[in-house]
Structure 1
Amino acid sequence: MYSPQSFDGQKVLVTGATGFIGSHLCQRLIHCDATVYGVSRYKQFSEDGSIQWLQADVRNFDEMQQIFTSIKPDIVFHLASYVSGSRSIDAVRSTLENNLLSTVNLLTLMAEAGGRRIILAGSLEEPDVGDAPIPSSPYAAAKWSSSAYAQMFYQLYQVPIVNARIFMVYGPAQKDIKKLIPYVTLSMLEGKAPELSSGQRQIDWIYVEDLVDGLIATAQAPGVEGCTFELGSSTLTPISTLVEQINQLINPSIRPQFGALPDRPMEQVRAAKIAQSISKLGWKPKTSLQQGLRRTVEWYTAHRDLYVL
């Protein structure tokens, strides 16, 4: 199976480097001897100098062009995104600008400046091949459009893209406490019953360190330009089952309030098809849901003072 190789000082640019996935990825890249450049809208500092922070807005073409001209990255991981499953009209412009416009900016800069590979973060929310082409949310529409633009840039301009279709990621240090697992975990650690939807939706959960393995593989595997790889566990687990597992790990006497919130319309139910990820990347997930949840609960238990619900 896949074993990460050294990046041997290659310059790797990570957008969304302060985010949940981005921060885990940056740490792994450092351990793989990459020269890591993290992009953030806000000033960031690295006490040990392991990450070279760059302040820019990925929606701003001129700011990103200055970065590309200055550092000439070998590899780009584009993880910056406005992540929201909201069906609200307010989400349309946010996802358009943060997700689609930012992706087109980076693809254009890769076409102009060159570079070995750009890895784009796709989503399980995108319509699947063979599905009716109707995105289920503004976020899904922006991600789907980004994937289409990436394929156009690959075919017309030979931009070396790889699309990583990411399934539902969880693990330690997820900052957004509105996300299901942080919310449920922190609620139960405080002795509160989390308020949830019906819990019937089935989801493919992928542990963050397994996902990072997959992302690294998409950057290093030979001859995979233009491909889309699904990075998930390939197993569906209902939300209710996942919540029950967290419940058992923390306090079985707490009774989660299923049905307190409405289910969102047009939720995607899809397990990752990882055959190509196994055959071309040599990657597959290693962490069971039970192992991953235990590690996640242990981390939030140790760091609960950092979070306020």
Structure 2
Amino acid sequence: MRLLLTGATGFLGESLVRRFLADGHQIVILKRRTSVLPSLIASNAAIVCHDVEDGLAAAFVVTKPDAVIHLATCYGRSGEDIMTVFETNTAFPLRLLQAARAAEVALFINTDTALEKLTNAYSLSKRQFAEWGQWLAQRNEFTFINVRLEHMFGPGDAASKFTAHVIGTLLENRLEINLTKGEQLRDFIYIDDVLSGYQTLLAHYAENTVNGYIECDLGSGEAITIKDFVELVHTLTNSRTKLNFGALPYRPGEVMLTQADTSYLKKLGWRVQTSLAEGIQKIIASEKIL
């Protein structure tokens, strides 16, 4: 298949590009002119890049993709105002979806968050676009798969992410790390299992084309407290860092449980292959190589 991806310069996007190329798919990257491309994309002549500034309609006319995989997002962590978050997470993908439908692209895979809708501006804007996708898919003959992604982790992820921050801090044996009480339950999923989830969705669609809206949770299906996660990392890294649980307050509106319902993917034959401990050990091994 010829796949058009947004957000290909991010951790998940670059990982998916690598995996899809290995599967024999043709890759089209939709990016900004100012985007800094990973070496994988910049050095691969087989990857077609199209700048957003040249128009969304033109991207589909020129590249003729079979499916769109939307990964680009704005978390609002760098001081972006709510209009920027809304534009990135709701308005832009809605324009992208309209352009895809005008070009008669039959499959749109959206990457959503597992957070509750009203948790913050990020989750609200992500859910709003998913609801537009659901509304449109129920009235038109195309498939909109909404992937509700849980807490993904893996080697090379951004240091600002919670999992990477904790593992990096404990590996460095910093004096201490301040944390909340850690009672929140989270579903952590290793990057390779995330990639196989997307592969499974594509393979199933190619074999059994269906129309309409599909909600798909993508996580391990198991939840662990933040405290247990940090203590597991502490043990696996043999760290001497002092864990100050309770030193930080919970954020306003803190979500106390996220856990994927993986029944849909399991029906398609997908299974988690990497345990939480194995995933952490792979990150530790990669850090030691560096």
Q: Could you tell me which amino acid in structure 1 is paired with residue 221 of structure 2?
A: S
Match of 2:115 in 1: 125
Any conservation in 2 of the 1:122–1:164 contact (CA below 8 Å)? yes
Distance (Å, rounded) in 2 between the aligned partners of 1:14 and 1:266: 33
- Answer 1 or 2: which has greater strand percent: 2
TM-superposition CA deviations, 1:127-181 (whole Å, max 9, x none): 4xxxxxxx11111111111111001111223232111111110111102x12111
Give the CA deviation at 1:84. 4.3
Distance (Å, rounded) in 1 between the aligned partners of 2:171 and 2:94: 42
Counterpart secondary structure, 1:126 = coil
Picking from 40, 43, 62, the partner of 1:47 is: 43
Distance (Å, rounded) in 2 between the aligned partners of 1:230 and 1:204: 11
Match of 1:209 in 2: 192
Match of 2:224 in 1: 237
Q: Could you tell me which amino acid in structure 2 is paired with residue 83 of structure 1?
A: Y
Distance (Å, rounded) in 2 between the aligned partners of 1:29 and 1:110: 20
Q: Could you tell me which amino acid in structure 2 is paired with residue 79 of structure 1?
A: L
Q: Could you tell me which amino acid in structure 1 is paired with residue 72 of structure 2?
A: A
- Cα distance 1:293–1:66, how it changes in 2: closer, same or farther (>3 A)? same
Q: Say whether residues 1:278 and 2:266 are aligned partners.
A: yes
Match of 1:191 in 2: 173
Q: Which runs of 5+ in 2 are unaligned?
A: none
Counterpart secondary structure, 1:13 = strand
Q: Say whether residues 1:64 and 2:64 are aligned partners.
A: no
Distance (Å, rounded) in 1 between the aligned partners of 2:49 and 2:167: 32
Match of 1:306 in 2: none
Match of 1:155 in 2: 138
Give the CA deviation at 1:85. 6.9
Q: Which runs of 5+ in 1 are unaligned?
A: 1-9, 128-134, 304-309
Give the share of equivalent positions with the same residue, in percent: 26
Match of 2:288 in 1: 301
TM-superposition CA deviations, 1:54-113 (whole Å, max 9, x none): 3336xxxx6222211210111111000012479x8x542222011101220111011100
Match of 1:130 in 2: none
- Cα distance 1:52–1:257, how it changes in 2: closer, same or farther (>3 A)? farther
CA RMSD of aligned residues (A): 2.0
Distance (Å, rounded) in 2 between the aligned partners of 1:139 and 1:103: 14
Give the CA deviation at 1:224. 4.7
TM-score (norm 1): 0.84
Distance (Å, rounded) in 1 between the aligned partners of 2:186 and 2:145: 24
Report runs of 4+ in structure 1 exceeding 6 Å deviation: none
Give the CA deviation at 1:265. 2.4
